Chains A and B, each alone.
Chain A
Amino acid sequence: EVQLLESGGGLVQPGGSLRLSCAASGFTFSTYAMNWVRQAPGEGLEWVSTISSGSGTTYYADSVKGRFTISRDNSKNTLFLQMNSLRAEDTAIYYCAKMSAYLGSYPLDYWGQGTLVTVSS
């Protein structure tokens, strides 16, 4: 059974940093691209970032480019999102999601339960 378990969310002041983690199990983690998708309170889904199966390729939404860094440790089956210079508009539930192949034109076939990030003074 595929499981994705996010952690690391919490309350942070504007300008602060936070590192999210996503522990994966039930599939060959190193074979699949992984993603972060967020959802602001009462809003829709927004793609944030994607990393290829081997970490060689990363993509970011314009709204987080230069502030967020996605990475992965295939030896530990874990996905990360380092978030710096956080803003109030980054407040959201952050979901870890597995792409159904190594990268590209594929849907997100499994999602974690999410971790809440609140940016507020």
Chain B
Amino acid sequence: EIVMTQSPATLSVSPGERATLSCRASQSVSSNLAWYQQKPGQAPRLLISGASTRATGIPARFSGSGSGTEFTLTISSLQSEDFAVYYCQQYNNWPPWTFGQGTKVEIK
């Protein structure tokens, strides 16, 4: 089973600042990596697939990078609606399809 590790657990950022979230896989997942956003009381929403391809309707301030075992989600200028929990997920080696434990982006 591939273990996904996200860091940091919590990221405190001021509106308008840049946020950088990390995700590490215990073995290579190629570019088969997705990022999801979850706001309180809501279902997760797909942001990024293929490590760097934004899903339909996702603003350009969200960008993903990386391949193999190291991945990054960058939010270039945080808006109020971006404060949420972000999860990475690998879909390269399955089953199981595995998620990271999440990074909470909170207002500083």
Over the window 84-121 of chain A, the binary record of Cβ atoms lying under 8 Å from chain B Cβ atoms (1 yes, 0 no) is 00000000000100001000111111111110000000
Taking the complex as formed, is B19 at the interface, i.e. its CB lies under 8 A from any CB of chain A? no
Q: How many chain B residues have a CB neighbour from A under 8 Å?
A: 24
- Across the interface, A100 reaches (CB within 8 A) one of B49, B100, B101, namely B49
Binding site of B, secondary structure by majority: helix, strand, loop or mixed?
A: loop
Q: How many chain A residues have a CB neighbour from B under 8 Å?
A: 24
In Å, the complex CA distance between A109 and B89 comes to: 12
Binding site of A, secondary structure by majority: helix, strand, loop or mixed?
A: strand
Taking the complex as formed, is B34 at the interface, i.e. its CB lies under 8 A from any CB of chain A? yes
A60, closest chain B residue (CB): B95
- Across the interface, A107 reaches (CB within 8 A) one of B38, B89, B96, B101, namely B89
CB neighbours of A105 from chain B (8 A) = 32, 91-92, 94
CB neighbours of A35 from chain B (8 A) = 97
Q: Mark out the residues of chain B between 25 and 60 whose CB falls within 8 Å of any chain A CB in the assembled complex.
A: 32, 34, 36, 38, 42-46, 49, 55
Q: Which residues of A contact B (CB under 8 A)?
A: 35, 37, 44-47, 50, 59-62, 95, 100, 104-114
